Amino acid sequence: MRHIISVLMENEPGALSRVVGLFSQRNFNIESLTVAPTEDETLSRLTVTTVGDDRVVEQITKQLNKLIDVVKVVDLTEGDHLERELMMIKMKANNGTVRAEIKRTADIFRGTIIDVTPNTFTVQLVGSSSKLDAFIEALGTSNIMEVVRSGVSGIARGEKVLTL
The Cα 61–Cα 54 span in angstroms is 11
- Shortest Å, Cβ 71 to other proteins: 4
Least distance between other proteins and beta carbon 28 (Å): 12
CB-CB contact of 50 with 57 (8 Å):
yes
Residues whose CB is less than 8 angstroms from the CB of residue 11 and which lie 6 or more positions away in sequence, other chains included: 37, 41, 42, 43, 44
Which residue in the set 16, 30, 31, 69 belongs to the binding site for other proteins (CB under 8 A)?
A: 69
Min dist. Cβ of residue 63 to other proteins (A): 5
Stretch that binds other proteins, among 17-25, 104-112, 124-132, 154-162 (CB under 8 A): 17-25
Q: Is 59 in the site for other proteins (CB under 8 A)?
A: yes
Nearer residue to other proteins within complex by CB, 70 or 139: 70
Letters for 71-90 (x = contact with other proteins by CB under 8 A, - = none) are: x-------------------
Q: Rounded to the nearest 5°, which phi and psi values hold at 71?
A: -90, -50
